[in-house]
Amino acid sequence: MTHFAVRRAADATFAAPPQLPYPSSGFRRRTVVDEADGAVHSGFGICELAPDGAIGAHVNAYEESFHVLSGTVILDVPEGSYLLEEGDYGLLPTGVPHAWRGAGDTAARWADMLAPVPRARYGYDTQAVPALPAREPVRIDVRDPRTRSFGHFEAAQMDPGKQSQDLLAVSASMRTALLVYSGITVKMMVDEDLGAVASTMFMVQYAPDGVAGSHDHPFEETYLIVEGTVDATFDGERHRLGVGDAAWAGAGCVHSFANAGTGPVRWLETQAPQPPSRHSYRFTRDWDYLRETLGEKP
């Protein structure tokens, strides 16, 4: 049994979703990872909704995080209707009724993270509910506590030399301030601060010399490349990933990354379940060092 999966953008196919208990029109989804891959905690895909399309009101028995990749789309929830644009992200907690409506002149695309993985044998853990009011949509404002479950990402937020109060103002909290280490920058998007309990979603960027040594986790990760190229190794198998490519690493899969280009490489990353406060990383180098140290003793 493999503990990882790689999906190439060139081979990507969008298809109508499986038979679900709520109506939809103009909606397609590219499955990146699901239970067929051996995933337990992670369902991940790319959704596409036509400008005149719609996804009927429903609730899920899982947590759903999303990040808008292109276009505009309207999200209806009990609290209101929101116009989401490229760079917006958010959280739909378990059991929250919601519906989607097309908007703009072109199809909208967004990445969705579903935790735990929807199960086909249980109707994909979703249920139709009565229609929600289709109110006039408003833009989100992360400084407004009424839109606390949403945020907005700009590529400039990944530049450690250009951080400012204005950039921080479009983050949901100071915990989403940039994390910088060894040529790697991390921008948190969805975590427990937004109300997530089963997963996280964030942006990662590697400088041209950025490298992460081989390691594994007690949780599952997915990666969607949005800029540049990266050499990724999963359980000893090497893959070069470019824009639109995606991958999944199951719990215990030993993986590593190295920027393969001359410019930055950036990807959307998710984790499920949420990492523990300790022992989230198990680096191969540490255990190699221990074996070498013990071997030096008489």
The mean pLDDT value for 215-237 works out to: 97
Per-residue model confidence (pLDDT) at position 164: 64
Has residue 172 got a pLDDT over 60?
no
pLDDT band, very low/low/confident/very high, at 179 (cuts 50, 70, 90): confident
Torsion of CA 139, 144, 146, 150, to 10 degrees: 60
Per-residue model confidence (pLDDT) at position 165: 62
Higher pLDDT among residues 298 and 35, named by residue: 35
Note the residue count of the chain: 298
DSSP conformational letter for 197:
S
pLDDT, averaged across the chain: 92
The mean pLDDT value for 262-278 works out to: 95
pLDDT band, very low/low/confident/very high, at 251 (cuts 50, 70, 90): very high
Per residue in 105-158, pLDDT (tens digit) is 999 999 999 999 999 999 999 999 999 998 999 999 877 877 888 999 988 888
Give 170's contacts (C-beta < 8 A, 6+ positions apart): 142, 151, 152, 154, 157
Has residue 72 got a pLDDT over 80?
yes
Q: How far is CA 219 from CA 30, 159, 272, in A?
A: 23, 28, 6
- Sort strands 80-85 and 138-139 into parallel, antiparallel or unpaired: parallel
Give 292's contacts (C-beta < 8 A, 6+ positions apart): none
Per-residue model confidence (pLDDT) at position 156: 83
Has residue 225 got a pLDDT over 60?
yes
Encode burial over 177-192: b for 16+ CB neighbours within 10 A, e otherwise: ebeeeeebbebbbbbe
pLDDT band, very low/low/confident/very high, at 12 (cuts 50, 70, 90): confident
Stated pTM of the model: 0.93
With residue 101 as reference, give the H or E element that holds it.
strand 98-102
